Amino acid sequence: SVDYDKNVCKVSIVGVGMKSHSGVAAKAFLVMAENNINIDMISTSEIKVSMIIDQKYGELAVRTLHSAYELDQ
């Protein structure tokens, strides 16, 4: 059988700078924790970190990550 959940979303941070800058993923995880957003699953590559979270926190996660990485300026 296959189990699935329609109430999740994937939020990713992507950038070639992740290869050379340490702490990028740690900052994302800290921001999620500070906003009480539980991460159900994490997937990583050299330039990307993806997190599966509850769909109801999707917009909050995007806004807070944008702010944390100063992308909202």
Closest of 5, 4, 6, 9 to residue 59, by C-alpha: 9
**pLDDT score at 42:** 97
What is the CATH class of 8-68?
Answer: alpha beta
The ranges assigned to domains in the chain are 8-68
H helices present in the chain, as ranges: 24-34, 58-68
Closest of 39, 40, 20, 30 to residue 69, by C-alpha: 30
At 46 the three-state DSSP class reads coil
**Regions of the chain where pLDDT drops below 70:** none
**pLDDT score at 35:** 97
14 CB neighbour count, 10 Å cutoff: 11
* 66/26 Cα distance (integer angstroms): 15
Q: In terms of pTM, does the model score above 0.85?
A: yes
**pLDDT score at 18:** 84
